């Protein structure tokens, strides 16, 4: 087992990894920016090293500085969290070259599964069903030809990247040129890769994802699914497990196929396969996230498996003790992403100082957050402030518990999405489990957005 792990991240996920390390008897080193010097993860880590100014490009994306921090602190492994360098193949390769363990899959497998087109090809060969799609296109004439083969409406997606960027719905041929050009410029700037591909569009699709764990010896398990259909601009705002209306038989079928598929490509560590379900419960593979997910707590609560500890054990070369028959799904969990955004103003990002902070508590309530009274929300990073997660025996009880927890939650000093989540948890469509990927957009007026 590692003696010391460097955490190349910030906020609530850095704090989550620090806590796992402490429970496992592993010393933690936080690599932080100047903007995060007084943050909670920096205060709680065993060691701290500043790796640059507030801008991500000069700190959390600065590979030489992060590797130097690992050497200075004698860290044997690096946990990348999510975002930043967590799916960067160059970073994983460099870690391997300098004999520092990257807590995640190998760079070679990450390069295949991190590229959405090559991932589709690999998973199709492994037997997962696919929506009709196109190869990578980089010019407008190529794109027009590919779009004609798919037909309208269609989804435009970036080959690289994540976080909902580079994804567009194109309804009519007349809007194709404009949307393609805007999307390609966006992804070129964000990911340094202007590759685009298209998929057939499903009107009322549900977005589910399967959590998998595979050790260094090829032994793997799946931990069921999460429903991530509540999205704005293709970014998730609420997740739950299990998915409403998904039968145990279909859950088992998708999970079994998912774990076999990742074993076939030699995947190791934690990963998530994302699928779309149509109204007839036919499922189609979309992409794979080769890292820990923001929404991993809902899986932890319904399976009683600590995913971060499992990641660390797998990376250390320990055989996984879990067997598929050991994974028992109990109860229902819901996660609300509380962000520094004003939902009534099109989710405009907010900055400022947290003047008063009082998290909810009580049975079945978990808060993953780096906030405290006096914390200043910096302008450089993602707007996520907190993940409010609840567990209960049934979905209806979980909804009631989340409504109660949201009512208790106090964050003063800047606008947050707590009021939005209160409206969402009271919406009859959500309560009936009738969410789909455009649910928030279609119900915007009722949800006050």
291 is catalytic: yes
The answer to whether the Cα torsion of 183, 188, 191, 197 is positive or negative is: positive
Q: Which two tokens stand for residue 88?
A: 């960067």
Q: Say how far apart CA 139 and CA 395 lie, in whole Å.
A: 47
Q: Say how far apart CA 317 and CA 1 lie, in whole Å.
A: 8
Q: Say how far apart CA 267 and CA 255 lie, in whole Å.
A: 15
Closest by CA position to 423, among listed 397, 393, 438, 402:
402
DSSP state of 295: T
Instruction: Please list the residues that pair with 410 across neighbouring strands.
Output: 358
151 backbone φψ class: left, alpha, beta (φ>0; ψ -120 to 50): left
The single residue of 10, 168, 226, 291 carrying the catalytic annotation is 291
Crossing angle (nearest 10°) for helices 107-114 and 116-125: 100
Q: Say how far apart CA 277 and CA 438 lie, in whole Å.
A: 13
Instruction: Please list the residues that pair with 235 across neighbouring strands.
Output: 232
b/e code 142-168 from CB counts within 10 Å (16+ = b): ebeebbeebebebbbbbbbbbeebbbb
Q: Which two tokens stand for residue 375?
A: 């914390």
Q: Say how far apart CA 26 and CA 19 lie, in whole Å.
A: 10
Contacts of 123 (CB under 8 A, 6+ apart): 130, 261, 273, 285, 288
Output the DSSP codes for 20-55.
Answer: HHHHTT-EEEEEEEGGGTTSHHHHHSSEEEEEE-SS
Instruction: Please list the residues that pair with 444 across neighbouring strands.
Output: none
Q: Which two tokens stand for residue 192?
A: 């340094």
3-state secondary structure of 447: helix
Q: Which residues are catalytic?
A: 291
């Amino acid at each position: 087992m590692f003696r010391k792990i460097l955490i190349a991240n910030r906020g609530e996920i850095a704090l989550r990894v620090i806590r796992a390390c402490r429970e496992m008897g592993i010393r933690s080193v936080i690599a932080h920016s100047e903007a995060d010097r007084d943050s909670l993860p920096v205060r709680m880590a065993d060691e701290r090293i500043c790796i640059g100014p507030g801008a991500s490009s000069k700190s959390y994306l600065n590979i030489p500085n992060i590797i130097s921090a690992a050497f200075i602190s004698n860290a044997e492994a690096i946990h990348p969290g999510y975002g930043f360098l967590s799916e960067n193949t160059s970073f994983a390769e460099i870690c391997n070259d300098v004999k520092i363990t990257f807590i995640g899959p190998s760079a070679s497998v990450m390069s295949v599964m991190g590229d959405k087109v090559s991932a589709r090809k690999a998973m199709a060969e492994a037997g997962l069903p696919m929506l009709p799609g196109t190869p990578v296109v980089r010019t407008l004439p190529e794109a027009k030809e590919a779009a004609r083969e798919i037909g309208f409406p269609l989804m435009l997606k970036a080959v690289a990247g994540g976080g909902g960027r580079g994804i567009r719905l194109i309804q009519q041929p007349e809007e194709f040129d404009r949307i393609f050009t805007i999307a390609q410029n966006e992804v070129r700037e964000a990911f340094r890769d202007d590759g685009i591909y298209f998929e057939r569009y499903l009107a009322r699709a549900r977005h589910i994802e399967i959590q998998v764990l595979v050790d260094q010896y090829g032994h793997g398990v799946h931990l069921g699914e999460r429903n991530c259909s509540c999205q704005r601009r293709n970014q998730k705002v609420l997740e739950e497990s299990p998915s409403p209306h998904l039968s145990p038989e279909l859950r088992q079928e998708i999970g079994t196929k998912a774990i076999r598929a990742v074993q076939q490509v030699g995947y190791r560590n934690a990963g998530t396969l994302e699928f779309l379900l149509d109204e007839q419960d036919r499922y189609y593979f979309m992409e794979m996230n080769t890292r820990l997910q923001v929404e991993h707590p809902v899986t932890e609560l319904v399976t009683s498996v600590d995913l971060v500890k499992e990641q660390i054990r797998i990376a250390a070369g320990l055989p996984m003790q879990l067997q598929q028959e050991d994974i028992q799904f109990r109860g229902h969990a819901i996660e609300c992403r509380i962000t520094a955004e004003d939902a009534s103003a099109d989710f405009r990002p907010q900055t400022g100082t947290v003047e008063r902070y009082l998290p909810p508590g009580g049975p079945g309530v978990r808060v993953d957050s780096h906030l405290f009274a006096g914390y200043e929300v910096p302008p450089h990073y993602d707007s996520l402030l907190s993940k409010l997660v609840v567990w209960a025996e049934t979905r209806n009880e979980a909804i009631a518990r989340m409504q109660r927890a949201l009512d208790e939650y106090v964050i003063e000093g800047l606008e947050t999405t707590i009021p939005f989540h209160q409206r969402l948890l009271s919406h009859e469509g959500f309560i009936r489990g009738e969410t789909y990927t455009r649910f928030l957009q279609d119900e915007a007026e009722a949800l006050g957005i």
